Amino acid sequence: MKTVALTCIECPVGCRIEVDLEENKVLAVRGNSCLRGKMYAENEVVCPKRVVTSTVKTTDGRMLPVKTDKPVPKTEIFAVMQKINSATATTPVKIGDVIIKAVCEDANVVATGNAE
């Protein structure tokens, strides 16, 4: 059995959590003060995921802020960034418009700003 210690990032409390693992299976979670912390810890030790934020070029040369609409596995972040870096958004763009569909699994890259 292996015990992993981490600090929860789901809320400002920042609980110190310990997770007992055996063969990549969660046996116990301790230290969380809410269910969100328990779910975070279980996911973080088995398959950590993050929302990716960045910018893409627009057809008129400006930079447009974007993010993935769902967290992606940390192991895929560099591949996602390669796709984002090679993308160009055609203006006009509104917040929420999909810039890259299914960039990783079912996550899309969406605009977080407007470009007229």
Check whether residue 86 and residue 60 sit in a common domain: yes
- CATH number for the domain spanning 35: value is 2.20.25
Check whether residue 15 and residue 34 sit in a common domain: yes
Enclosing domain of residue 29: 2-46
**pLDDT tens readout for residues 34-61:** 999 999 999 999 999 999 999 999 999 9
**pLDDT tens readout for residues 95-107:** 999 999 999 999 9
- CATH number for the domain spanning 79: value is 3.10.530.10
Three-state SS at 60: coil
Residue 82 lies in a domain: yes
Rg (CA), the chain: 18
Residue 77: predicted pLDDT = 97
Give me the number of domains the chain comprises. 2
pLDDT band at 17 (very low <50, low <70, confident <90, very high): very high
* Rounded-to-integer distance, Cα 85 and Cα 69, Å: 17
